[in-house]
C-alpha cells in the first residue's frame, strides 16, 4: 500500500477532492530506499512542469480545503496500469507485425510487417482507451483519502520493559 501526504485544495459535491502532494520531494517513502525516494520519482520530477500538480482523488473522510491528508494508492494498481499502458501495446505491435510478416508473400513481407505493426498500435490504442475508461470509474483503481493529519497533537506512550 502506497501512502502519500497531501493538502486538500478543493472538495467536490460528487465525493471527490482535488489535492496537491506535500511529501518531501513528492516521494511516497514506501520502498525504504534510505533516501526516501526512488530513482524513477527523481527522473519524473526532472521532466515535470514547474506549475503546481493537482490530482483528483476520492474523499472517503469528508475533508475541507486546507486539510492535510494521507492518500492511499492500492497495492498493484500502479503495476497493473504500467503493464497495460506499456506492455500491452508493445506486445500487440510485435504480434501483429509478426503475423502480417508471416502471412505476406516474401516480396511484400517487410511492408506487411510495417502495416501489421501500425494495425497493432491502433488496436492497442483502442484497447488501452477502453480499459482506461473502465478503470476511471472503478474505485479500486483510484487514489483515495484515507485519513486526516491532525497537527498540534502529541501522544506520548510509556514503554515498560
Q: How far apart are CA 135 and CA 86, in angstroms?
A: 16
Determine, yes or no, domain membership for 39: yes
Q: CA triplet 139, 142, 146: central angle to 5 degrees?
A: 90
- The verdict on 34 and 88 lying in the same domain is no
- The verdict on 60 and 84 lying in the same domain is no
Number of domains observed in the structure of the chain:
2
Q: How far apart are CA 113 and CA 99, in angstroms?
A: 8
- The verdict on 90 and 66 lying in the same domain is no
Determine, yes or no, domain membership for 155: no
The mean predicted confidence, pLDDT, of the chain is: 82
Determine, yes or no, domain membership for 160: no
Q: What is the 3-state secondary structure (H, E, C) of the chain?
A: CEEEEEEEEEECCCCEEEEEECCHHHCCCCCCCCCCCCHHHHHHHHHCCCCCCCEEEEECCCCCCCCEEEEEECCCHHHHHHHHHHHHHHHHHHHHHHHHHHHCCHHHHHHHHHHHHHHHHHHHHHHHHHHHHHHHCCHHHCCEEEEECCCCCCCCCCCCC
Determine, yes or no, domain membership for 156: no
pLDDT one-digit tens code per residue, 61-71: 889 999 999 98
Determine, yes or no, domain membership for 60: yes
Determine, yes or no, domain membership for 29: yes
Determine, yes or no, domain membership for 91: yes
- The residues that bridge with 2 in the sheet, in sequence order, are 73
pLDDT of residue 60: 87
Q: Find the CATH number of the domain harbouring 26.
A: 2.40.50
pLDDT of residue 124: 96
- The verdict on 70 and 8 lying in the same domain is yes
Determine, yes or no, domain membership for 32: yes
- The verdict on 23 and 62 lying in the same domain is yes
The single residue listed with the C-alpha cell 534510505 is 34
pLDDT one-digit tens code per residue, 120-158: 999 999 999 999 888 877 777 888 888 888 776 655 666
- The verdict on 93 and 119 lying in the same domain is yes
- The verdict on 16 and 48 lying in the same domain is yes
* Residue 49 lies in domain: 2-74+141-148
- The verdict on 43 and 67 lying in the same domain is yes
Nearest CA to 6 out of 41, 40, 74, 52 is that of 52
Amino acid at each position: 500500500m502506497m501512502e502519500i501526504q497531501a493538502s486538500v485544495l478543493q472538495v467536490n459535491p460528487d465525493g471527490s477532492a482535488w489535492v496537491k502532494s506535500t511529501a518531501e520531494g513528492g516521494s511516497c517513502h514506501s520502498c525504504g530506499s534510505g533516501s526516501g525516494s526512488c530513482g524513477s520519482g527523481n527522473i519524473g520530477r526532472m521532466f515535470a512542469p514547474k506549475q503546481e500538480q493537482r490530482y483528483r482523488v476520492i474523499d472517503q473522510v469528508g475533508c475541507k480545503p486546507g486539510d492535510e491528508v494521507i492518500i492511499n494508492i492500492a497495492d498493484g494498481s500502479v503495476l497493473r496500469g504500467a503493464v497495460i499502458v506499456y506492455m500491452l501495446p508493445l506486445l500487440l505491435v510485435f504480434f501483429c507485425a509478426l503475423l502480417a510478416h508471416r502471412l505476406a508473400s516474401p516480396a511484400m513481407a517487410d511492408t506487411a510487417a510495417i502495416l501489421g505493426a501500425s494495425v497493432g498500435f491502433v488496436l492497442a490504442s483502442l484497447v488501452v482507451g477502453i480499459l482506461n475508461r473502465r478503470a476511471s470509474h472503478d474505485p479500486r483503481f483510484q487514489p483515495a483519502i484515507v485519513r486526516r493529519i491532525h497537527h498540534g497533537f502529541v501522544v506520548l506512550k510509556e514503554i515498560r520493559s
